[in-house]
Amino acid sequence: MSGWAARLLLALGEAVGSAAFWLGLRRRVALDGLRLAFPERTEAERRAIARAAYRQLGRSLAELVAWRRLTASEVERLVRFVGWDRYQAALAGGRGVVVAVAHFGNWELPARAAANRGMSVTAITRTLREPINEKLLALRREGGMRELPDKKSTDAALRLLRRGETLAVVIDQNMRPSRGIFVDFFGTQACTTPAAAVFALRTGAPLFLVYDLREPDGTHRVSFEGPFALPSASGGQSAVHALTQELTRGVERMVRAHPDHWFWVHRRWKTRPGSEAILPARDHP
């Protein structure tokens, strides 16, 4: 794709994102989440963040298409890695590496760009059935990422780490009480997957938090934060909780610094301890 065509596609993506906001597609969910996370902001400020987040989402989708045919050298020019040397040193330890990822920036990009550098990464992902999601899964596989289902894949994930490979776990999605633990996120308890902490503790694999930040010039910075110090595995559930909380604090720091980069259209605080209700149950604009 030529340079002008790529720029046109990215601008179109942002326009589609803006249209989705004005049409009210999950707009109430986004604004409710912003009110909970940033009660000190004005309503006008929160709406501005939401509009910018929708534009970021549209641009991210367009980037996946625009970047499909880029050469390895072109990808390297567009993506700068911070902490890659720490990741490589951790991988050389032979216990595999667990990378915790969030819906931040163009979250599909780090795996694609890292695969361009030779990383072999497998992600635990939810099963998606809608036609657009099937296309997204195809793009992921095309970009070099392999997948494990989010159910009944524990043994496969452990084998992967014990072979010295890299496992990615999404840590900022709402979970059902039977599959998550509650940790603090923006001052409110959020039901969170403990999988990243559990796999790191069970195998001794180094644990990183990885996120993408879009730079003003349109390039990307993919950062590896960590490795995190692993509590003793003998600490059991308390060690899992402490490590999951530490990862979630990392996500919160990122979102506070760049709130337009996060996926506000997801109902992150939907599952509540007991019968407490935080966000409304419906998605009206």
65 or 135: which leads in pLDDT = 65
pLDDT at position 119 is 87
Peptide bond into 227 cis (omega under 30): yes
pLDDT at position 32 is 98
Confidence bin at 278 (pLDDT 50/70/90): low
> Does residue 1 sit in helix, strand or coil?
coil
Q: Taking phi first (over 0 means left), then psi (-120 to 50 degrees means alpha), and beta for anything else, what does residue 175 get?
A: beta
For 210-235, the pLDDT digits (tens) are: 999 999 998 999 999 999 998 765 56
pTM of the model: 0.90
Domains in the chain: boundaries:
3-261
**What are the strands, taking DSSP E only, across the chain?**
79-82, 97-101, 121-125, 146-149, 166-170, 181-185, 188-192, 207-214, 220-225
pLDDT at position 284 is 35
pLDDT at position 274 is 79
For CA atoms 134, 145, 103, 219, the dihedral sign is: negative
Share of the chain above pLDDT 70, in %: 87
Lowest mean pLDDT among 67-71, 95-99, 126-130: 126-130
Work out the average pLDDT over 30-49.
98
